[in-house]
């Protein structure tokens, strides 16, 4: 096989990798990922185990199915709700910081953030949610926003590099193929 054709094939393959396969390999796991959080009903108290320090969010799972029952509540939490977080190992009450800026939808579920705590000492955390409210579903999970941003920007950069490199190699192969076909055939007499 001629070198020019090999360059066109390699360039086209790299372009397809960069334009289609790499973005799909990044976007699909983000869209199809299982929610990595502890769901529970409120009002009431639940206990979660934290295995590493970090920022952990409390979520209002306003549209969800939990333990075989569907919930479709307002995305706004009712007035007079109280949220108390306590580290069981240290008996320390953790400061709950309000942050309603994040929302997430996946399939037939939707949730929005209520706030977060910063956990310095991993271990069991009691979450007590009280107030005169209709039963709702909440969840608690570590923030993965930096991971998502890293995947998106890293994936875009890799996709662009592969796409442009592949396009360049393919064009170079086509140019060389055209030039080699224009050369006059020399007869050896």
Residue 186, pLDDT above cutoff 90: no
Q: Please, how many CA atoms are within 13 Å of residue 142, restricted to the half-sphere of its CB?
A: 14
Residue 35, pLDDT above cutoff 60: no
Q: Angle 152-114-53 (CA atoms, 0-180°, nearest 5)?
A: 65
182: confidence class by pLDDT, cuts 50, 70, 90: confident
Residue 127, pLDDT above cutoff 90: yes
At residue 134, the pLDDT reads 87
50/121 Cα distance (integer angstroms): 9
Peptide bond into 44 cis (omega under 30): no
pLDDT tens digits, one per residue of 132-169: 888 999 998 887 666 677 777 888 888 888 888 889 99
At residue 36, the pLDDT reads 52
Count of CB atoms situated within 10 Å of the CB of 47: 12
**CATH for the stretch 37-143:** 2.60.120
At residue 118, the pLDDT reads 92
Peptide bond into 43 cis (omega under 30): yes
Q: Please, how many CA atoms are within 13 Å of residue 178, restricted to the half-sphere of its CB?
A: 6
pLDDT tens digits, one per residue of 56-82: 999 999 998 888 888 889 888 888 889
Q: Please, how many CA atoms are within 13 Å of residue 148, restricted to the half-sphere of its CB?
A: 13
Q: Copy the structure tokens of residue 68.
A: 């075989």
Highest mean pLDDT among 28-42, 87-101, 139-153: 87-101
97: confidence class by pLDDT, cuts 50, 70, 90: very high
Domain boundaries, the chain: 3-30+149-180, 37-143
Residue of 59 and 181 predicted with greater confidence: 59
Q: What is the average pLDDT score of the chain?
A: 84
At residue 117, the pLDDT reads 93
137/43 Cα distance (integer angstroms): 9
> Mean pLDDT throughout 45-59?
90
At residue 37, the pLDDT reads 62
Residue 34, pLDDT above cutoff 60: no
39-43, 144-148, 153-157, 174-178: which has the minimum mean pLDDT? 144-148
């Amino acid at each position: 096989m001629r070198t020019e054709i090999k360059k066109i094939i390699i360039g086209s393959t790299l372009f397809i990798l960069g334009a289609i396969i790499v973005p799909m390999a990044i976007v699909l796991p983000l869209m199809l990922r299982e929610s990595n959080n502890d769901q529970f009903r409120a009002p009431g108290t639940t206990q979660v185990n934290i295995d590493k320090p970090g920022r952990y969010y409390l979520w209002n799972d306003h549209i969800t199915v939990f333990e075989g029952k569907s919930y479709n509540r307002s995305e706004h939490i009712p007035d007079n709700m109280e949220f108390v977080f306590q580290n069981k190992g240290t008996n320390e009450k953790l400061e709950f910081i309000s942050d309603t800026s994040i929302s997430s939808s996946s399939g037939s579920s939707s949730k929005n953030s209520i706030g977060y705590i910063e956990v310095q000492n991993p271990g069991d955390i009691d979450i007590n949610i009280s107030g005169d409210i209709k039963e709702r579903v909440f969840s608690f999970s570590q923030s993965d926003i930096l991971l998502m941003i890293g995947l998106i920007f890293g994936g875009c950069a890799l996709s662009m590099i592969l796409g442009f490199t592949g396009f360049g190699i393919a064009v170079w192969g086509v140019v060389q193929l055209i030039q080699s076909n224009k050369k006059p055939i020399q007869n050896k007499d």
